[in-house]
Amino acid sequence: MTTLWILVAAFILAQTPAPSGKKEVTFAKDVAPILQRSCQNCHHPGAQGPMSLMTYEDVRPWVRAIKTRTAAREMPPWHIERNIGISQFKDDPSLTDEEIATIGAWVDAGAPRGNPADMQPAKTFVDDEQWHIGTPDLIIEIPKEHVVPANAGDLWIDYIADSGLTEDRYLQAVEARPGPGARSVVHHLLTYLIQDVSEDEVLVGRDADRPTNNESFLNEYAVGKNGDILPEGTGKLVKAGAKIRFNLHYHSSGKETKDRTRVGLKFYPKGYVPKYHQISLQIAQASADLDIPANSVTRHDGYFRFNKAARITAIQAHMHNRGKRMCLEAILPNNSVQTLNCVKFDFNWHKVYNYADDVTPLLPAGTVLHSILWHDNTAAQRSNPDPRNWVGYGQRTIDEMAFAWVTWTYLDEADFKQMTEERRARATKNQ
Amino acid sequence: MISRSATKTLNGEILEISCYKEKGVAGSTGAAHIMCAKDCVSKGGSLGILTDGDGLFKIVGELEKNKYAKLVSYIGKTVELTGTEVVVSNNYDIKLFDAQKVLLPKKQ
């Protein structure tokens, strides 16, 4: 009889959930899918991240660091504040609160591997040489091979290259990328078109700071971004004789590496003229007014008026070492204010945030874009070279800047009306 | 330098960093990779300690001198490394450990 009771008790215990009532969180079942989606693009062998996070064995030595970095939302690097404004973006690797909690619970439980049969198939990565925008019509390289030493400080450098283009063409897609085998040393890069441009395209800012102000932003490479395909009917004129400026951030990997970064351009067919012209400019500037006393946190404001209806497709904050945060709001012609987004700023990551197509801000003519930019010139800002110094505007990294980098197209009134009505109808249908 | 921690001890395996970055744990740890790690160090490669949970630290300071002469024999072994963590820049990269003393744990 006693034996029977022991067996019954054992059966009941086996059926009872763990005291906390929570299921066991394992690497195979719960954590690996998060890493696959949000981490492994940068963290696989040979990629830019300093360690691979592909297997349990790769991840195990980093578990406490992963918990700390994800809980602080330092990793993956995505600085849009999730509770303010628009929340849908392209190529968004950010973690939900639930995913961060899952990682934390897993680490706290001793980082169990779990059942290998629960693992999803390993993520595979496309050949480094494959262009995501399709075969480019024109590939332009930096003019010489750049050698990144095995061990050296980070380097920001510009290269200017002739495009070799002999006729005007309209850009349909663009993709910049490090040279073969150099992904581990190219932290990020920006490309710019240098050519004679119309008034709308001229860089806003201090003209004397550049040898030419006939320069406009083209695109950004950062790990996890796969090139930019412009919205249908939207293009950017690339003129014969245009030059490309590459602005590169190199980072030593421990092994001497040679790089020949390039940008691929794909054009609309000859003779096709897109209806809309894409503009990318530094606007809502507050740089000229910057006055940042020692040991203080400051706010500066910038404004830009859209004279025609506009659709914003991407935003980026630009500051330097003391940059802290930027908010963008649209002051509409009826004086109502719409907050677009707030984004924390970290000089290590010059992130461009591309809105998902369905939520690109549509702004009526006369809208004023208002940028609010904060700098932290105290010791609390880890990247601050010296909080005892006053800081103002300047080109050097130890000087400061403050503006929004915005990509948009101007729309005609009929298209603007149609797009806003379609969006309103979609919102009503989804309610 | 931005900051220096109090003295602490790290436990982990000594490995060559560029090899680890390129090949991950499977391709850079254990006895099978000792010779190639030594070769890399002789050509200027850097040694680090891969801990159980806190990640990889690049070893700098006294034990870095003369191409890690005092550490080379520990490559591929799990050790106790005593020293201070130093932060020299705001870049997200491998952390630095100014190592003063290296010991093999008694059970080895």
Q: Does the pLDDT value for residue A39 go beyond 80?
A: yes
Using DSSP's 3-state secondary structure scheme, residue B26 falls into coil
Per-residue model confidence (pLDDT) at position A1: 45
- Whether pLDDT at B62 is above 70: yes
Res. A216 pLDDT band, cuts 50 70 90: confident
Least confident among A45-49, A147-151, A163-167? A45-49
Q: Which two tokens mark B72?
A: 């080379």
Return the closest-CA partner of residue A69 out of B60, B107, B36, B55: B55
Query: Which tokens hold the place of A37?
Result: 């989606």
Say if B53 falls within a structural domain. yes
pLDDT value, residue A12: 45
Measured between CB atoms, does A155 come within 8 Å of chain B? no
**Residues in a beta bridge with A305:** A368
Query: Which structure tokens are listed for B100?
Result: 């003063």
Q: Once rounded to an integer, what is the mean pLDDT over residues B61-76?
A: 94
Q: List, for residues A238-269, the tens digit of each pLDDT value.
A: 999 999 999 998 988 777 899 999 999 999 99
pLDDT at A392: 95
Q: Is A388 on the interface with B (CB under 8 A)?
A: no
The closest of A214, A234, A244, A242 to A171, measured between CA atoms, is A234
Q: A99 falls in which pLDDT band (50, 70, 90)? A: very high
pTM of the model: 0.81
Interface touch A65/B53, C-beta < 8 Å: yes
Q: Has residue A18 got a pLDDT over 80?
A: no
**CA A277/CA A168 separation, integer angstroms:** 14
For residue B46, the chain A residue with the least C-alpha distance is A254
Q: Measured between alpha carbons, how far is B93 from A219 in angstroms, rounded to an integer?
A: 25
Contacts of A178 by beta carbon, 8 Å cutoff, 6+ apart: A185, A186, A189, A221, A259, A261
Confidence of residue B4 (pLDDT cuts 50, 70, 90): confident
Which of A54, A154, A253 lies closest to B21 in CB terms? A253
Residue A321 has pLDDT above 70, yes or no: yes
Q: Look at residues A134, A149, A360, A375 and name the one whose alpha carbon lies nearest to residue A256.
A: A149
Flag whether residue A63 sits within 8 Å of chain B, measured between CB atoms.
yes
pLDDT for residue A185: 85
**For residue B59, is it within any domain?**
yes
Q: Which of B21, B55, B93 sits opposite A61 (nearest CB)?
A: B55
- Helix (H), strand (E), coil (C) string for chain A: CHHHHHHHHHHHHHHCCCCCCCCCCCHHHHHHHHHHHHCCCCCCCCCCCCCCCCCHHHHHHHHHHHHHHHHCCCCCCCCECCCCCCCCECCCCCCCHHHHHHHHHHHHCCCCCCCHHHCCCCCCCCCCCCCCCCCCCEEEECCCCEEECCCCCCEEEEEEEECCCCCCEEEEEEEEECCCCCCCCEEEEEEEEECCCCHHHCCCCCHHHCCCCCEEEEEEECCCCCCEECCCCEEEEECCCCEEEEEEEECCCCCCEEECCEEEEEECCCCCCCCEEEEEEEECCCHHHCCECCCEEEEEEEEEECCCCEEEEEEEEECCCCEEEEEEEEECCCCCEEEEEEEECCCCCCCCEEECHHHCCEECCCCEEEEEEEEEECCCCCCCCCCCCCECECCCCCCECCEEEEEEEECCHHHHHHHHHHHHHHHHHHC
Q: Tell me whether residue A37 is exposed, middle or buried, using C-beta atoms within 10 angstroms of its C-beta: 0 to 12, 13 to 18, 19 or more.
A: middle
Instruction: Give me the pLDDT at residue B10, please.
Output: 95
Q: Does A360 touch chain B (CB under 8 A)?
A: no
Furthest C-alpha separation in chain B? 38
DSSP, collapsed to helix, strand or coil, labels residue B66 as: helix
In a domain, B90, yes or no: yes
User: Average of pLDDT values for A343-368?
Assistant: 91
**Could you give the 3-state DSSP secondary structure of residue B58?**
strand
Q: Which residue of B has its CA nearest to A108?
A: B53
Q: Is residue B96 part of a domain?
A: yes
Sheet containing A155-162, strands listed edge to edge, beginning at the edge strand earlier in sequence? A155-162, A243-250, A186-194, A215-221
Query: Which domain CATH number covers B99?
Result: 2.40.50
Measured from the Cβ of residue A129, the count of other Cβ atoms closer than 10 Å reads 7
Number of structural domains chain B divides into: 1
Q: What pLDDT is stored for residue A197 in this prediction?
A: 67
Question: Token pair for residue A64?
Answer: 């406490």
φ and ψ at A267, to 5 degrees?
A: -105, 155
> Is A113 within 8 Å of chain B by CB?
no
DSSP B97: E
Residue A85 pLDDT greater than 80, yes or no: yes
pLDDT surpasses 50 at B34: yes
First to last CA, chain B: 36
Q: What CA–CA distance (Å, rounded) separates A152 from A253? A: 9
Residue A147, token pair as written in the block: 């050698």
pLDDT confidence bin for A210, thresholds 50/70/90 = very low
Tell me what pLDDT residue A398 has. 82
Which tokens in the block code for residue A7? 């067996």
Distances (CA, A) of B2 to A72, A265, B87, B92: 20, 42, 5, 14
pLDDT for the residue A209 = 39
Q: Please state, in angstroms and rounded to a whole number, the distance separating the CA atoms of residues B89 and A311.
A: 39
Strand partners, A175: A264
Of A111, A154, A254, the CB nearest to B21: A254
Residue B108 falls within a domain, yes or no? no
Q: Is the pLDDT of residue B56 over 60?
A: yes
pLDDT band at A215 (very low <50, low <70, confident <90, very high): confident
What is the overall mean pLDDT for chain A?
A: 87
Dist CA A111 CA A349 (whole Å): 29
Could you tell me the pLDDT band of residue A57, with boundaries at 50, 70 and 90? very high
Q: Which domain holds residue B37?
A: 3-103
Residue ranges and CATH numbers for the domains of chain A are 20-118 (no CATH), 138-274 (2.60.120.230), 284-426 (2.60.120.230)
> Which residues in B lie closer than 8 A to residue A151 (C-beta atoms)?
44, 46
B-interface mutation test, from A52, A66, A73, A376, most B Cβ less than 10 A away: A52
ipTM above 0.85, yes or no: yes
